[in-house]
Chains A and B, each alone.
Chain A
Amino acid sequence: MESHIVRASDGFENAREPVDGSRVLTIRDLSVEIRRGDRIVHPVSGVGLALDRGETLGIVGETGSGKSMTGLAVMGMLPDGGRVTGGSIDFGGTELVGLPPDRYRALRGNDIAMVFQDSMTALNPTRRVGEQVAEPVRLHQGASKRAARARAAELLDLVGIPKPLERLDDHPHQLSGGMRQRVMIAMALACEPRVVIADEPTTALDVSIQAEILDLLDDLRSRLGMSMILITHDMGVIARHADRVGVMYAGRVAETGPTPALFSHTRHRYTHALLSSIPSLTQDRREQLFSIPGTPPDLSASPAGCPFAPRCAAATDRCHEERPPLSVEEDGHTHTCWHPVATAAGRTCSGASAVARPAVSPETPAVRGTTPRLRVVDLRLEYPVGGRGLLGRRRTVKAVSGVSFDVAPGETFGLVGESGCGKSSLGRMLVALNRPTSGEVVFDGASVTGMSARELAPRRSQLQMMFQDSNSSLDPRMRVGAILREPLAIQGIGTRSARTARARELLGDVGLPSGVLERYPHELSGGQRQRVGLARALALDPKVLVADEPVSALDVSIRSQILNLMLRVQRERELSSVVISHDLAVVRYLADRVGVMYLGRLMETGTTEEVYGSTAHPYTAGLLAAVPEADPAAPRPRSGTRVRGELPSPIDPPSGCRFRTRCPLATEVCAATEPALVTLTGTHKAACHHPLRLPAAQPEELSAR
């Protein structure tokens, strides 16, 4: 592969000739520094990117890669203490770096707009939706109150909000997450900007809603002739929605190129490693996930060589000492790597430590056939909301409505579903943190549910939980040593020195040095904290481990480290675990058997192969169709199979089948009677009147999907 070398200052944007002068935005050699007290960090160093009219440029990277800061720099909205220290941002002939504030304000929201991640606080809680959408129109186009209101209604209609006129006077809290994100988009599009910067626009949303929002953005971009910068950490989103990609690492662009080329002929070692460490819905489950060792570098130091060198398997001395120059290939594919991946190399056998996963045949749990370690029998949880009305009937949220399953010793059961489906409530009941309204949890033959606190106490050590947010689940004022010793102390195990020894051993088990014992949680990185969370859960040598969204808060490269660690621990300790996640690929990777939950009920259960390979329930199929695969060549699923619309309220779930309101196959019978969980084949069960595979049908090849 021939590649010529250009000086880094020439930047990436020159690598590609502008197509008939349709260049909208050119970022050249952009550097940003942020002063925080005495520390200066460099979140963006020498970034060059270009955006053409009508295209979507994806910027992908992990936390701290500088992707969001690049977007904010273009908006001229760097945080306090931040400034552009070099380079230029050319927006259709206007130089944005150093532009006077009032001229910048005239552009912002008018020619360049930004869509932020949905959070409860992204819209002003005390102002009406209509006013907020109308605000840019009044500001930039000087529209009258009435005209702006009409425009706001038009915009809400454009972004697919039903009955826009009625929604104008709503307050943000009256809208669902997906609706709020649509309002955000409407606000950004109010003045028909030339460039929209979407910063993690769907990260806080469920996968079915994410797919709708991204399709909406795609559609609007082409209809309104805008250009879009899509900033995300999700390679799948990039593969499906970006025309070109810039991969960022440690404030620098590692690789850019047209999306198909970047995925099929990945050149930079970082991109390659990143793609290899994403669990996918199609990979071979017997193979261990590739993981990048270490953590991203400290941005206050500026290393001489390639910033990825300390974590790179192919790094040589040169990588540590000299910064790699920009290499340009034909079709505008560029990268900065001394040892680019040979184009032909497939991703899955990536030279590095792709250790084969210990072979566990999918039948194992069934073969064991012994008494299950954990049995969940018709578990229900309802809790009242609000007060009694004058007439007294109290409304209840039906969080969990009759869920049953077993977990055998050494088996991992995956619970998957969208937010609000009751999976976390269920998880808390499994480890007796919450008591169910009815039904029972049976652990080793004894019902934990009916036990008094006194009877339960000795069993608690056997039932442990690992939480999603290690930031808030570890006491910030306790050192890691104390955190790990506490469970032992509570159960009265060992002397103090024995406990410390055990804590050190636990840290070793989760791959942390014993020096961590003396550290406080805030001194650790997210991945290290999650390891401590796992170590704490393992401290009492439990038989059952419930992990609630164990990797959701982590970056891709750290995520695969934790996933592999969990898999190893599960195998080594013969743990019965329940992994709860909204991420279908994570569950597929970790679990032997899977349960798909919707509005408090199990819709489908079976072995991982059965559920993912020969999906029976339309809901499962819809979820799978909505997951963007990190492969632009993957066929886009027909949008018909997707789950549409919003999750109904768990206070008043739909009659009959709870999924019918969003199901493409729903008929009258679905509204009338609730389908029972029926066995299709072997262990595969689905609760559906119109299953996608008939009970009689032969199971397909296990690796079919």
Chain B
Amino acid sequence: MSWYVVRRLAISFLVLLGISALVFFLLHVVSDDPGRVVLGQRASPQAVADFNREHGFDRPLVVQYLGYLDQLAHGDLGRSYKLNENVGTVLRQNAGRSAMLSLAGLILALLIAVPLGILQAVRRNSLVDRAATAASYVLYATPSFLLGLILIAVFSQSLPFFPAEASQSHSAWVVLTDPRAMALPVITLAVTSVAIFSQYQRSSALDQLGQDYIRVARAKGLPERSVLTRHLLRNACLPLITLVGTLIPSLLAGNLIVESLFNYPGLGLLFLNSLQHEDYPVLLAYTLIGGALTVAGNFVADIAVAAADSRIELNK
């Protein structure tokens, strides 16, 4: 087990190194003149050249990349051109808020999707099942910005239950104590996930319901409820655990739309703004962290599945 973890960590590190190189060079192809970006269109070519020399942007790319790696090794993600702040600080401020939004959305989605999926499997081809499946397809196909707009139109404009804008506070405490402000963004996030998760859970539960151990459990005289909670639930959730693990980073990236729609200052909104301003170091750091989260998500999912399923031994 521990050997497995060490090896996986080493591989993860190499993957991240690859991501950083790829993104570094790609971004340089897209915007190769940071001086122009920072100083604006009206700055004199001399000033731009001076800026680039001063910040080392005239050096060969490889040297710049190695310099960047050195910086990273010291925990320095660089400095934002636009915000004139340390990138690490900026990301940290926004990351917590993004994580909170995603996590709330994820938990809500799982709380709905797991029982719903199992219910659909148990009542296969019933009215409930068909309706839920149809709804899932519609919701899955709906872009989240449209869904968000509809929710705003209904629950904020027509029926003034919730504010249209998410909480702007930078304090987690304030956000938590004002759940109404977060309701619409969280619901928007959750609804799309419920559509995927419940269908996933449904097919996995159907698979498991066909297995002999379910028949054996019924033959013991267990009430159907116990058959489902004691025998089906855990086995049926195994595939979903893997899915959620791989989705965690993309849930953060998914915030891009929801965060900008509800003007919620998280990582997604930051990325969007940085993109508009070609705020190169922020984009680089964001992508790198996205990669790190993807790798970490897969890693955690593997460990979680192994913990839930004794058949998997992590020494391979």
Q: Give the interface of A toward B (CB within 8 A).
A: 75, 77, 80, 102, 105-110, 113-114, 116-117, 119, 121-127, 135-136, 139-140, 171, 173, 184, 187-188, 190, 386-387, 389-390
Is the beta-carbon distance between B220 and A124 smaller than 8 angstroms? no
B213 in contact (CB, < 8 A): yes
A80 vs B308: C-alpha distance in the bound complex, in angstroms?
30
B245 to chain A, nearest CB (A): 18
| B215 contacts the other chain (CB 8 A) | yes
**In chain B between 206 and 252, which residues have their CB closer than 8 angstroms to a CB of chain A?**
211-213, 215-223, 226, 230-231, 234-235, 238
Kindly provide the distance from the CB of A395 to the nearest chain B CB, expressed in whole angstroms.
Answer: 12
A77 contacts B3, C-beta separation under 8 Å: no
Known: A125-B235, A126-B234, A126-B308. A139 touches B212 (CB 8 A): no
Q: List the A side residues contacting B310 at CB < 8 Å.
A: 125-126, 171, 173
Establish whether residues B213 and A122, one from each chain, have CB atoms under 8 Å apart when the complex forms. yes
Contact A108:B213 (CB < 8 A) given known A127-B231, A386-B316:
no
Contact A184 B216 (CB under 8 A): yes
CA distance A307 to B155 in the complex (A): 66
| B316/A387 in contact, CB under 8 A | yes
Contact A75 B219 (CB under 8 A): yes
Q: Is the interface of B mostly helix, strand, loop or mixed?
A: helix
The answer to whether B213 touches A125 (Cβ under 8 A) is yes
- With a CB–CB cut-off of 8 A, which chain A residues contact B315? 386-387, 389
**Distance, CA A127 to CA B315, complexed state (A):** 21
Q: Return B5 CB to nearest CB of chain A, in Å.
A: 13
**Beyond A113-B220, A121-B211, A139-B226, 7 additional pairs, beta carbon < 8 A:** A105-B222, A126-B308, A126-B309, A135-B220, A139-B222, A171-B310, A188-B219
Given contacts A173-B311, A386-B316, A390-B3, contact A122 B212 (CB under 8 A): yes
Could you list 13 examples of A-B contacts with CB < 8 Å? A108-B218, A109-B220, A109-B222, A114-B216, A122-B213, A123-B213, A124-B216, A125-B213, A126-B238, A187-B220, A188-B219, A190-B220, A386-B316
| Distance (whole angstroms) from the CB of A125 to the closest CB of chain B | 6
B309 / chain A contacts, CB cutoff of 8 Å: 125-126
Which listed residue (B213, B221, B223) contacts A107, Cβ 8 A? B221
Contact residues in A for B223 (Cβ distance below 8 Å): 102, 105
Across the interface, which residues of A come within 8 angstroms of B221, CB to CB? 105-110, 136, 139-140
Interface string of B298-316 (1 = CB under 8 A from A): 0000000000111100011
- Check A113/B216 contact, CB under 8 A, given A126-B235, A386-B316: no
Residues of B within 8 A of A116 (CB): 212, 215-216, 219
Interface size class of B (residues with CB under 8 A): 20 to 34
Contacts of A390 in B (CB 8 A): 3
Partner of B212, one of A121, A127, A190, A387: A121
Q: Point out the residue from A106, A124, A171, A389 that lies within 8 Å of B213, measured CB to CB.
A: A124
Task: Chain B residues near A188: list those with CB within 8 A.
Answer: 219
Q: Name the distance in Å between B314's Cβ and chain A's nearest Cβ.
A: 10
* Structural contact, A114 and B316, CB atoms closer than 8 A: no
Which of A107, A123, A125, A171 is in CB contact (< 8 Å) with B216? A123
| A140–B222 CA distance with the chains assembled, in angstroms | 9
Q: Residue on B with the closest CB to A386?
A: B316
**Chain B contact residues, CB within 8 Å of chain A:** 3, 124, 211-213, 215-223, 226, 230-231, 234-235, 238, 308-311, 315-316
Contact residues in A for B230 (Cβ distance below 8 Å): 127, 135
Distance (whole angstroms) from the CB of B167 to the closest CB of chain A: 41
Asked if A113 contacts B219 (CB within 8 A), the reply is yes
Most buried by A among B212, B222, B315: B212
Please state if A125 and B311 are interface contacts (CB–CB under 8 Å). yes
Q: Which one of B213, B220, B226, B316 has the highest number of Cβ atoms from chain A below 10 Å of its Cβ?
A: B220
Contacts of A173 in B (CB 8 A): 310-311
Q: A171 to B234, alpha carbons, bound, how many Å?
A: 14
Query: Contacts of A110 on B, CB cut-off 8 Å?
Result: 221
Q: Shortest distance in angstroms between B136's beta carbon and chain A's nearest beta carbon? A: 22
- Chain A residues, Cβ within 8 Å of B220: 108-109, 113, 135-136, 139, 187, 190
Closest to A105 in B: B221
Question: Is the Cβ of A114 less than 8 Å from the Cβ of B213?
Answer: no
With the chains together, A597 CA to B172 CA distance in Å? 70
Query: In angstroms, how far is the closest chain B Cβ from the Cβ of A200?
Result: 12
A167 and B222 CA atoms in complex are apart in Å by: 23
Pick the most buried of B3, B124, B217, B221: most chain A CB atoms within 10 A of its CB: B221
CB-CB nearest in chain B for A125: B311
Given contacts A126-B310, A173-B311, contact A108 B219 (CB under 8 A): yes
Nearest 4 CB-CB pairings of A with B: A109-B221, A108-B221, A109-B220, A121-B211
Look across to chain B and name the residue whose beta carbon is closest to the beta carbon of A79: B215
| Contact with A124, one of B217, B219, B316 (Cβ below 8 angstroms) | B217
Question: CB-nearest residue of chain B relative to A190?
Answer: B220
Which of A77, A114, A124, A125 neighbours the largest number of chain B CB atoms within 10 Å of its CB? Answer: A124
Expressed in whole angstroms, the Cα–Cα distance for A105 and B213 within the complex equals 17
Instruction: Report which of A102, A109, A124, A184 forms a contact with B231, defined as CB distance below 8 A.
Output: A124
Q: Which residues of B contact A113 (CB under 8 A)?
A: 219-220
Which B residues are in CB contact (< 8 Å) with A75?
219
- With A and B bound together, what is the CA distance between A121 and B3 in angstroms? 30
Q: Report A-chain residues with C-beta under 8 Å of the C-beta of B215.
A: 77, 116
Q: Which residues of A are found within 8 Å of B3, using beta-carbon distances? A: 389-390
Contacts of A190 in B (CB 8 A): 220
CB distance from B9 to the nearest CB of A (A): 16
Please measure, in the bound complex, the distance between the C-alpha atom of A136 and the C-alpha atom of B315, giving whole angstroms: 35
Chain A residues, Cβ within 8 Å of B124: 80
A460 nearest CB across to chain B (Å): 34
Query: Interface centre among B211, B216, B315, by most A CB within 10 Å?
Result: B216
> Known: A121-B213, A122-B212. Is A171-B311 also a contact (CB below 8 A)?
yes
CA distance A124 to B238 in the complex (A): 13
